[in-house]
Amino acid sequence: MNTPQQRSTLTIALCFIVALIEGFDLQAAGTAAAGLRQTFALDPKMMGWVFSVGIIGLLPGAFFGGWIADRIGRKKILIGAVTLFGVFSLLTAYVDSYSHLLLVRFMTGLGLGAALPNLIALCAEAVDERRRGTAISVMYCGVPLGGALAAVVAMFAHDHWQTTFIIGGLAPLLVVPLMIMLLPESSVFRQSAVHATRVSTAKALFGEGRAISTTGLWLSYFFTLTVMYMLLNWLPSLLLEQGFTKPQAGMVQMLFNIGGTLGSLLGGLLLDRCNPIKVVLSVYAGLLAALAGVGFSVGIVPMAMAGFAAGLFVMAAQLVLYALAPPLYPTTVRATGVGAAVAIGRLGSVAGPLAAGQILAAGAGTTGVLLATSPGLVIAALAVITVISRSTQGLGLKTAPAR
């Protein structure tokens, strides 16, 4: 790889492959939910913990994965993270008890969490500022594509739910050697590390006028990921609860992920090319409308359309957040800043599946679950607009120096 353009292309391509595998593993438990429920005799609350314990692992994984990467490099931590979630995803297929299932899902989440801030940082630093949102979009569209593949595998695997986790474990382990040989370390990070002066985590996140922007970013991550992970984990079960068949639920889940792929691409592209506040308003308004469609649709055609729209808008919202985070922070603390935001979002990721399980157990039904998420999305949209508004005043996105 002799030219910067070649290194950028290779970085984004390899990060896309990792994101594809990550998306597969993130949705593995959701697509295998029926088999897990039957094998381990799980009630809705227990299923909520199966979904949430992996997400709990994402939280420390995201924070410490970013924090350590700012000290020893993005590439090393990413390779370690991919190895970790590959091993424990594979082990999920062979557990023999509920407690062991929770343990391996937590460890899988730890690896998945550590991978994401480094994928974002590597792609953000591989291109110039004008193409940052697009680069992150191209990388991140691998996540919903991976989720769609997980849904397809689950449809063909029928009652053999272990197949999903075997594929989800072997794929990352096969990619690790390619990453070791081919993935370049961020040149921006290497240059900055030479002259880096270490600062405290608090100063990295809240110093130099970043307190309000960081807080707004965290609020938007929390509430947006609450909805995203509720849908990722509970959508098939919610559809079954509404009377749709398992193949119909699988089809809607697949359309949700296809919509998410399109949303991932559009989120960064629009952010690079259009007024960001208008993009945010459109995305969150569309997400609220799509959730209403999922809650009130009675036929498979309108439900399929609502599922596609929900995937498109929730992934576009998340991609906007992922594209906004890196330029808020200088290079020497960028992975820490992104990792902290992702970790806060994981708190919402934990809350979403757990809350859905509790609401369903209380008998509120699908509509009750979806209506409960609406106020949080309004808060998320307002928080993102605050971050963007401050960035245009020179307090964030365009002015964080690479030092």
Is-contact 369 359, C-beta < 8 A?
yes
Residue 42, both tokens: 């799980």
SS3 category, 229: helix
Cα distance between residue 224 and residue 333, in whole Å:
24
Cα distance between residue 21 and residue 173, in whole Å:
10
Residue 66, both tokens: 């970013």
> For residue 163, what are the CA distances in angstroms to 98, 147, 157?
18, 15, 7
Residue 339, both tokens: 């990792």
- Find the distance separating the first CA and the last CA of the chain, reported in whole Å: 25
CA dihedral 24, 42, 365, 263 (to 10 degrees): -10
Q: Which of 319, 334, 316 is nearest to 396 (CA)?
A: 334
3-state helix, strand, coil in the chain (%, to 5): 85, 0, 15
Tell me: pLDDT of 281 over 90.
Answer: yes
Is-contact 22 142, C-beta < 8 A?
yes
Is-contact 337 205, C-beta < 8 A?
yes
pLDDT digits (tens, 9 = 90+) for 31-82: 888 888 888 888 877 887 887 788 789 889 999 999 999 888 899 999 999 9
Cα distance between residue 37 and residue 334, in whole Å:
40
User: 298, exposed or middle or buried, with CB in 10 Å at 0-12, 13-18, 19+?
Assistant: exposed
pLDDT digits (tens, 9 = 90+) for 326-359: 888 888 888 889 999 989 988 887 787 778 778 8
Report CA Rg, the chain: 20
Average pLDDT over residues 266-286: 90
192: Cβ contacts below 8 Å, ≥ 6 apart: 330, 331, 332, 402, 403
DSSP code, position 97: S
Is-contact 61 107, C-beta < 8 A?
no
Say what the pLDDT of residue 198 is: 66
Say what the pLDDT of residue 193 is: 63
Least confident of 6-15, 59-68, 258-267: 258-267
Is-contact 349 229, C-beta < 8 A?
yes
Q: Which domains does the chain have, with CATH numbers?
A: 4-392 (1.20.1250.20)
Say what the pLDDT of residue 398 is: 45
Tell me: pLDDT of 91 over 50.
Answer: yes
Find the DSSP H helices in 73-184: 74-92, 98-126, 132-140, 142-157, 162-182
Say what the pLDDT of residue 394 is: 55
Give, in degrees to the nearest 5, the angle at Cα 340 between 335 and 341.
100
Q: In the chain, what percentage of residues exceed pLDDT 90? A: 37
DSSP code, position 183: P
> For residue 259, what are the CA distances in angstroms to 37, 51, 145, 308?
27, 22, 9, 5
Is-contact 380 224, C-beta < 8 A?
yes
278: Cβ contacts below 8 Å, ≥ 6 apart: none
pLDDT digits (tens, 9 = 90+) for 220-243: 999 998 888 788 777 887 888 788
Q: In the chain, what percentage of residues exceed pLDDT 70? A: 95
Question: pLDDT category, 194, cuts 50, 70, 90?
Answer: low
